[in-house]
């Protein structure tokens, strides 16, 4: 009787308290991508996400709460002199708060206003390295220099030192992660790739997002110099997801984490 009793208690506890968070596979596909690109992308996704799902990569965020009809928009590669402002205008129009993973090096006089504007309008300004290298090709010291220099620039412009980072190209391995984690940063990947970096047609981007969206998705988009099609696709993405019943949550709320020091 006794072992059975304990087993039942254990079962009850598991059911009540131990809701294991689900870590998604990364979605996002398009017939517009050629076979080679699709294969390359799928291989990268498996190689990167499997160690997170199996608990070998720690402190890596892929998605939010999969039980809620919420999504979080994230934009990489700002600031630039053009598209960042356009994205901010659209977000303002729809009253949506998003996250910007920004690159440190372009935060010069010309682009500094886009950084402060994003922060002032309630968006998160986060770390996307100093000049967009593959962090896996750098030494530990170089990785830390990339992260520190960028967070310091952001702090200089916004008063806040971000501790959330997104590696360029999503490129991480155990060594890189150990460095990132040891220095107090948390890695934020994504669960839905809009593919706006590859698809230059706004309808293909919209279609990809709408058909692949799931509860708790962190959606990857771009707002850099080359990303005109992202800007064109964004209003319809927001409108369609809203019609489908999704709410847009800031990343901090979505994954319950502090974005800044």
What tokens does 86 get? 């356009």
- Three-class secondary structure of residue 139 per DSSP: coil
Residue least distant from Zn ion (Cβ) = 76
User: Is there a catalytic annotation at residue 196?
Assistant: no
Class of residue 130 by CB neighbours under 10 A (exposed 0-12, middle 13-18, buried 19+): buried
Task: Tell me which of 70, 77, 111, 118 binds Zn ion, using CB under 5 A.
Answer: 77
**Nearer residue to Zn ion within complex by CB, 65 or 142:** 142
**Nearer residue to Zn ion within complex by CB, 166 or 202:** 166
- Minimal distance, residue 14 CB to Zn ion, in Å: 40
Question: What does the longest C-alpha to C-alpha distance in the chain come to?
Answer: 74
- Minimal distance, residue 224 CB to Zn ion, in Å: 7
DSSP state of 162: B
Q: Which of 131, 177, 173 is nearest to 150 (CA)?
A: 131
Q: Does 76 interact with Zn ion (rule: CB under 5 A)? A: yes
53-92 as b/e, with b when 16 or more CB fall inside 10 Å? eeeebeebbbbbbeeeebbbbbbbbbbbebbbbbbbebbe
**Nearer residue to Zn ion within complex by CB, 77 or 80:** 77
Q: Does 232 interact with Zn ion (rule: CB under 5 A)? A: no
Q: Does 193 interact with Zn ion (rule: CB under 5 A)? A: no
Place of tokens 């948390």: 186
d(CA 196, CA 234): 10
- Minimal distance, residue 247 CB to Zn ion, in Å: 26
User: Is there a catalytic annotation at residue 178?
Assistant: no
Sequence-distant (≥ 6) Cβ neighbours of residue 94 within 8 angstroms: 235, 238, 239, 242
**Mask of contacts with Zn ion, 138-177, x by CB under 5 A?**
------------------------------x---------
- Minimal distance, residue 129 CB to Zn ion, in Å: 8
- Minimal distance, residue 245 CB to Zn ion, in Å: 30
Catalytic residue among 123, 128, 132, 222: 222
Q: Which of the residues are catalytic?
A: 76, 222
The contact set with Zn ion (CB under 5 A) reads 76-77, 168
């Amino acid at each position: 009787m006794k072992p059975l009793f304990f087993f039942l208690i254990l079962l009850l506890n598991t059911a009540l308290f131990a809701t294991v968070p689900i870590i998604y596979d990364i979605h996002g596909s398009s017939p517009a991508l050629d076979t080679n690109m699709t294969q390359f992308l799928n291989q990268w996704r498996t190689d990167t996400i499997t160690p997170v799902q199996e608990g070998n990569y720690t402190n890596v965020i892929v998605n939010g709460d999969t039980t809620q009809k919420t999504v979080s928009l994230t934009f990489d590669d700002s600031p630039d002199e053009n598209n960042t402002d356009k994205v901010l205008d659209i977000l303002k129009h729809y009253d949506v708060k998003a996250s910007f993973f920004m690159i440190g090096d372009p935060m010069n006089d010309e682009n500094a206003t886009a950084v402060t504007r994003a922060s002032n309008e309630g968006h998160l300004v986060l770390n996307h390295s100093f000049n967009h290298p593959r962090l896996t090709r750098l030494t530990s010291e170089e990785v830390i220099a990339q992260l520190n220099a960028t967070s310091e620039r952001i702090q200089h412009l916004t008063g806040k030192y971000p501790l959330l980072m997104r590696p360029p190209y999503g490129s991480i391995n155990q060594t890189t992660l150990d460095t990132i984690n040891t220095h107090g940063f948390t890695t934020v990947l994504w669960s839905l790739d809009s593919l706006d970096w590859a698809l230059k047609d706004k309808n293909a981007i919209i279609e990809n997002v709408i058909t692949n969206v799931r509860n708790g998705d962190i959606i990857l988009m771009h707002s850099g110099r080359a990303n005109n099609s992202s800007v064109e696709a964004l209003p319809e993405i927001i409108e369609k997801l809203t019609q489908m019943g999704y709410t847009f949550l800031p990343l901090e709320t979505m994954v319950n984490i502090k974005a800044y020091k």
